[in-house]
Amino acid sequence: MIRQVRRILGDRYLDLSVLSHNLELSRGYFQTARQVKLPDIFPPFLFREMSQYHGVVACEGSMFKSKFANALTAMMIGSLGIAAAQNKLSVGYGAEAGHMDRFLQKMCRRYCADSLVITRNEESQTVLGRLGVPTELGTDTAWTFEPLGAEYGEGVLRQAGWDGRMPILGLCPINPFWWPVRPSLVKLTLSKTLGLYQQSHYRSIYFHNDGASVKAAFHRYLTAFADGVAAFRRDHRVLPVLIGMEALDRRACEIMSERLGGLPLFVSDQYDMYQLVSILRCCHLLASSRYHGIVTCMPALVPSTGVTMDERIRNLMRERGHSDLLLEVDDPDLESKLAGTLKRLIKDSEEIRGGIGRTVVSNLKAMARMGIYFQEHVQHRYPEFPLRTGHLSWEDFLPALGPNLRKLVELFDQG
């Protein structure tokens, strides 16, 4: 997203800042943009910080949802609302919208009516349209991401025991059931005084959803996921590897590795995003509960199945024409369905790769349209801003495409 904004508006006219919870884990990700520490208790900070800029661009897959954390959605709405109230640039970029509780719906209706939200899909447009929020249809912002080359991923996998020939099955498990995160001063007090709620403590005053039913559902999901992989391996020689797309996924990866007899683990608390996606794209098959696990391996045409907890992977699989490759985290038949779906990834691999390639190119063009919408919105808010002129192609509204993406455009561009 940052590379795209820089391409459209030009570095000489930009002074970018990025909010970050953890400056160290994301250091070096944002090139010319300055990192600003986002405090856990954020409302006073937002007013002070947002008032310093000419605009806000908010990007988060769960931007308008109660599924993960109301605090996250409130922060996004607040940031956009402050910018809009000051008649500044106020853009939601690559956002998804789902179920919001009544409080968040009222916030969104009141404070985002003068923002522009470019969504990932039509379903999100429908949700926001009911709340009177102006939208345009776009996509996720990760399609132009460029990781390290395949030589890095192959080297790391060889160090982990890969022989260079056996097909690699990537697995991206999560804990789907410990959401949403909610603030609790009571739990924080008991955590500090009696050592309670340690495992469910997220950060600061925030705690994951927890309890016997949550633990039982998590156990069933991981057992079914692992047993489905084990059943598939009885008929197919593959090397499974665990990939934790977020540091929060480490526990799920460790448990699944143990259930499958000890597997290589690659988790984002030890690998940066350039390294992790390089490893991911060296896989020959993928089963993922992480949306961006699927998205970032698609430019390498890796056949993938999604084991989903919400609408993000569901919407992506529908767009690919692969709704039959979609599984649910709480499906009582997850084990058998996963084993069968993995077999399909091999049996129908060429057809699946074709659908993936066409989807990647389609989303590159959708991301270019997002750039056009963004430029128009800048022009609306700041008519004096010096925008580019002359004949521009759709690729001029994207970050410079690498050789792999250019090849996909040549192969799958349908006009």
Sequence-distant (6+) residues with CB within 8 A of 397 are 4, 7, 8, 367, 368, 369, 370, 371, 372, 375
Mean pLDDT of each 10-residue bin along the chain, 415 residues long:
93 92 84 89 90 93 88 94 95 93 95 95 93 95 94 97 96 93 86 86 85 94 97 96 95 96 95 96 97 96 95 91 96 97 96 96 96 94 90 93 94 82
Residues 168 and 297 reside in one and the same domain: yes
CATH code of the domain covering residue 48: 3.40.50
DSSP track, 322-356: -GGGEEETT-TTHHHHHHHHHHHHHHTHHHHHHHH
Residues 347 and 371 reside in one and the same domain: no
Residue 318 CA to its chain's centroid (Å): 17
Would you say how long the chain is, in residues? 415
Q: What is the pLDDT of residue 249?
A: 95
Residue type, 208: H
The tally of domains found in the chain comes to 2
CATH code of the domain covering residue 289: 3.40.50.2000
Whole domain around residue 190: which residue ranges? Answer: 150-356
Residues 137 and 171 reside in one and the same domain: no
Residues 30 and 125 reside in one and the same domain: yes
Residues 227 and 91 reside in one and the same domain: no
Residues 114 and 84 reside in one and the same domain: yes
Residues 243 and 378 reside in one and the same domain: no
Predicted structure pTM score: 0.92
Residues 207 and 268 reside in one and the same domain: yes
- Of the three residues 356, 371, 394, the one that is the final residue of a domain is 356
Q: What's the distance, Cα to Cα, between the start and end of the chain in Å? A: 24
Checking 111-115 for CB contacts under 8 A at 24+ apart, the result is 111/77, 111/78, 111/80, 111/81, 111/84, 111/85, 112/77, 112/80, 112/81, 112/84, 113/84, 114/84, 114/85, 114/90, 115/80, 115/81, 115/83, 115/84, 115/90, 115/91
Residues 44 and 182 reside in one and the same domain: no
Question: Rounded distance, CA 4 to CA 395, Å?
Answer: 10
Residues 69 and 178 reside in one and the same domain: no
Question: Rounded distance, CA 106 to CA 99, Å?
Answer: 13
Residues 166 and 127 reside in one and the same domain: no
E strand or H helix that includes residue 2: helix 2-9
Q: What is the pLDDT of residue 415?
A: 64
Residues 68 and 93 reside in one and the same domain: yes
